């Protein structure tokens, strides 16, 4: 049976990961080999078990390291062509937030900068107008899961597919265009994610640098973390949802964004959305929607 999400036309360029990442294929071979050893040479079973345990440790580490590529394709930087154009990507997670997101949009507008908002579908549904405003003001809304469950990296393949499908359908319905990019909650994942991403034509994106602005209340500290070594092709992570507040009660992203945009300008960089960096076509439906 085909779900509505299967029928969404997706661009193969966004889903460049193999059906199973090489390390996952090797892991399956490791398990099969260990089972074979246990059958053919029962006395060697502790070695076989040790190999499987070591393999699981590496798989777990791959899922716990947000920037690793052991579990499949994962953008930690923009493609080389985007870097050559001196592009950088601001990615803003966990919204939309009815108070913080509009302030972020105003700051971006003032500077002509564009950003990608990795939104949580559960938050987008009651704030659909705000989601549409993000897109109308030249930015991009992408998939940051349906519920942002802290157990996301423990889900099996069917539950992962349900999370992604619900979010794809929500964002396609709200903005007129299904997302092409996915960021895992807290960046944590497991080996089941890559084939699901490929099914939906989604490219996994992590980041080059993050400011930890959900816990760090000092905007200057967050800014230093984001601009240290800033250069073309970087993907920066900040938060409009779950945002820490400074002593003045203002969300850290709002306090530090003007200085971050100053630095981007000073370095001759241009802040673009992820679809722009990937040169993905914008669907005619969204371009002509009234």
- Minimum gap (Å) between residue 18 Cβ and Zn ion: 26
Residue closer to Zn ion by CB (options 137, 147) is: 147
Catalytic pick from 150, 239, 240, 265? 239
For Zn ion, the closer CB: 6 or 99? 99
Name every residue whose Cβ is closer than 8 Å to that of residue 218 and which is 6 or more positions away in sequence. Answer: 246, 252
Question: Does the footprint of Zn ion cover residue 93 (CB under 5 A)?
Answer: yes
Looking at 92-100, 160-168, 258-266, 272-280, which segment touches Zn ion (CB under 5 A)? 92-100
Q: How far is the CB of 102 from Zn ion (least distance, A)?
A: 19
Task: Please tell me whether residue 177 binds Zn ion under the rule CB under 5 A.
Answer: no
94 binds Zn ion (CB under 5 A): yes
> What minimum distance in Å lies between the beta carbon of 245 and Zn ion?
17
- Which of residues 243 and 278 has its CB atom nearest to Zn ion in the complex? 243
CA dihedral 282, 72, 114, 259 (to 10 degrees): 180
- Are 230 and 265 contacting, i.e. CB atoms less than 8 angstroms apart? no
Output 55 or 145, the one with its CB closest to Zn ion.
Answer: 145
Q: Is 240 in the site for Zn ion (CB under 5 A)?
A: no
The least distance separating Zn ion from the CB of residue 144, rounded to whole angstroms, comes to 6
Least distance in angstroms from the C-beta of 185 to Zn ion: 5
Sign of the C-alpha dihedral, residues 18, 192, 165, 100? negative
Stretch that binds Zn ion, among 31-39, 41-49, 88-96, 263-271 (CB under 5 A): 88-96
CA pair distance 107, 258, nearest whole angstrom: 7
- The piece of 10-18, 91-99, 127-135, 262-270 that touches Zn ion (CB under 5 A) is 91-99
Candidates 89-97, 156-164, 169-177, 220-228; binding stretch for Zn ion (CB under 5 A): 89-97
Bridge partners (DSSP) of residue 210 are 237
Task: Give the number of C-alpha atoms closer than 13 A to the C-alpha of residue 129, restricted to the C-beta side.
Answer: 2
Which string of x and - marks every residue 48-87 that binds Zn ion (by CB under 5 A)? ----------------------------------------
Number of residues binding to Zn ion, judged by CB under 5 A? 2
Nearer to Zn ion, 14 or 120 (CB): 120
Tell me how far apart the alpha carbons of residues 270 and 142 are, in angstroms, rounded to a whole number: 20
- Minimum distance of Zn ion from residue 155's CB (angstroms): 15
Nearer to Zn ion, 55 or 63 (CB): 63
Question: Which of these is catalytic: 93, 94, 97, 234?
Answer: 93
Is 93 marked active-site? yes
* CA 251 vs CA 22, 102, 233: distances in Å: 41, 12, 26
Token pair 């099969």: residue: 32
Contact assessment for residue 177 and residue 283, using Cβ atoms and an 8 Å cutoff: yes
Q: Which of 75, 110, 105, 90 is nearest to 260 (CA)?
A: 90
Spell out the long-range contacts of 23-30 with Cβ–Cβ below 8 A and sequence spacing 24 or more. 23/58, 23/59, 23/62, 23/70, 23/71, 24/59, 24/71, 24/72, 24/191, 24/194, 27/55, 27/58, 27/59, 27/191, 30/55
Stretch (H or E) spanning 209: strand 209-210
Active site residue 265: no
For the annotated catalytic residues, the residue numbers are: 93, 239
**Residues interacting with Zn ion, by CB under 5 A?**
93-94
């Amino acid at each position: 049976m085909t779900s509505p999400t299967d029928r969404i036309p997706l661009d193969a360029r966004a889903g460049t990961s193999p059906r199973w990442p090489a390390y996952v294929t090797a892991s399956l071979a490791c398990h099969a080999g260990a089972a074979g050893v246990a059958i053919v040479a029962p006395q060697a079973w502790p070695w076989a078990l040790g190999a499987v345990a070591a393999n699981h440790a590496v798989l777990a580490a791959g899922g716990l390291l947000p920037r690793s590529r052991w579990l499949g394709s994962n953008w930690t930087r923009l493609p080389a062509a985007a870097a050559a154009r001196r592009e950088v990507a601001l990615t803003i997670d966990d919204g939309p937030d009815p108070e913080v997101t509009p302030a972020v949009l105003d700051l971006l507008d003032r500077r002509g900068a564009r950003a990608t908002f990795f939104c949580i579908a559960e938050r987008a549904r009651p704030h659909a107008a705000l989601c549409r405003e993000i897109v109308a003001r030249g930015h991009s809304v992408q998939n940051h899961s349906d519920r942002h469950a802290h157990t996301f990296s423990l889900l099996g393949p069917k539950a992962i597919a349900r999370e992604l499908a619900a979010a794809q359908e929500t964002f396609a319905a709200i903005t007129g265009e299904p997302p092409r990019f996915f960021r895992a909650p807290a960046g944590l994942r497991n080996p089941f994610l890559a084939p699901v991403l490929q099914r939906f034509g989604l490219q996994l994106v992590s980041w080059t640098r993050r400011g930890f602005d959900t816990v760090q209340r000092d905007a200057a500290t967050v800014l230093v973390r984001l601009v240290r070594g800033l250069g073309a092709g970087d993907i920066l992570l900040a938060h409009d949802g779950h945002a820490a507040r400074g002593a003045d009660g203002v969300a850290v992203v709002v306090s530090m964004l003007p200085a971050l945009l100053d630095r981007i300008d000073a370095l001759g960089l241009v802040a673009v959305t992820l679809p722009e960096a990937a040169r993905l076509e914008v669907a005619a439906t969204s371009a002509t929607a009234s």
